[in-house]
């Protein structure tokens, strides 16, 4: 039986102003802080990172940024460095999200550089991988996600891989209402864990936490979490209300 600690993260994307974000963080704090056997993380928009982190500072709930630059500082207008994100209270940073890849030119190599930079500054990367519908229908799912995984972890030592979170998000299930079946998700998670064992060691692979993302909701989280290689979820739209997010965190029929 695994001893991996579950991790549920809410990606708020480009939603909510500062006041709304702080209010939502407060509700999540009030409803989820008592669940001490799971890591709960929220990823606000960049403008809300500092006030949300301040609101959650003395709680067990972590704060993630939705992206970062790989350099510590420099002439990179509009970007935020790992140093700056750590300074405002982030503990995690999402890198390689499919929207960053598809809409903003994120590359596999770039994801690896960001993961390396985050570990250099004590932050935990949530490295996202996932295939498009066309790639799945062409039978290329594992080729795509394993290539992305290899690049994302390429610059890391085994002890850093252990601390990295990997999120499998099939692009065709993000924001579409479609969700990979628990069996489909488990197949990919098992392949990811097997590849991590090859890249590092079976002992390392057994400790790495793998999340599923893609239209995760209160009514499908329990079935996903019942799979042996799924250790958590990266939640999109359902993380924008405290009620639905708390019910996801309380997936083991706890009173949320």
Q: Is 137 a catalytic residue?
A: no
Taking each helix axis from N to C end, the angle separating 18-32 and 242-249, rounded to the nearest 10 degrees, works out to 30
What's the alpha-carbon Rg for the chain, to the nearest Å?
Answer: 17
Q: What's the sign of the alpha-carbon dihedral 32, 2, 227, 212? A: positive
Going from the C-alpha of 43 to that of each of 127, 132, 199, 226, the distances in angstroms are 14, 24, 29, 25
Separation of alpha carbons 91 and 68, rounded Å: 13
Contact 4, 13 (CB under 8 A): no
Q: Is 121 a catalytic residue?
A: no
Among candidate residues 69, 99, 169, 189, the one labeled active-site is 169
3-state secondary structure of 152: helix
C-alpha 153, offset from chain centre: 15
Separation of alpha carbons 116 and 160, rounded Å: 9
List strand residue ranges (DSSP E) for the chain, in order. 7-11, 39-43, 62-65, 92-95, 124-129, 165-168, 209-213, 232-235
Structure tokens that stand for 191 in this block: 């392949």
Among candidate residues 69, 97, 119, 189, the one labeled active-site is 97
Catalytic residues: 97, 169
């Amino acid at each position: 039986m695994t001893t991996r600690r579950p991790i549920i993260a809410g990606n708020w994307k480009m939603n909510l102003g500062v006041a709304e974000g702080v209010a939502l963080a407060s509700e999540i704090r009030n409803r989820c802080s008592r669940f001490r056997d799971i890591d709960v993380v929220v990823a606000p928009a960049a403008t809300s990172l500092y006030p949300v982190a301040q609101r959650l500072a003395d709680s067990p709930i972590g704060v993630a940024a939705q992206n970062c630059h790989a350099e510590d500082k420099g002439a990179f207008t509009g970007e935020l460095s790992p140093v700056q994100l750590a300074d405002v209270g982030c503990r995690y940073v999402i890198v390689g999200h499919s929207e960053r890849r598809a809409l903003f030119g994120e590359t596999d190599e770039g994801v690896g550089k960001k993961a390396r930079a985050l570990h250099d500054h004590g932050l935990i990367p949530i490295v996202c991988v996932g295939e498009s519908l066309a790639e799945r229908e062409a039978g290329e799912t594992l080729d795509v996600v394993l290539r992305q995984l290899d690049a994302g972890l390429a610059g890391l030592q085994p002890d850093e891989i252990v601390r990295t979170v990997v999120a499998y998000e099939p692009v065709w299930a993000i924001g579409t209402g479609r969700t990979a079946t628990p069996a489909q998700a488990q197949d990919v998670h098992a392949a990811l864990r097997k590849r991590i064992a090859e890249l590092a060691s079976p002992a390392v692979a057994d400790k790495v936490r793998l999340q599923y993302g893609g239209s995760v909701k209160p009514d499908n989280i329990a079935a996903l979490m019942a799979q042996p290689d799924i250790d958590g979820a990266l939640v999109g739209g359902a993380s924008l209300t405290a009620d639905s997010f708390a019910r996801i965190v309380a997936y083991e029929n706890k009173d949320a």
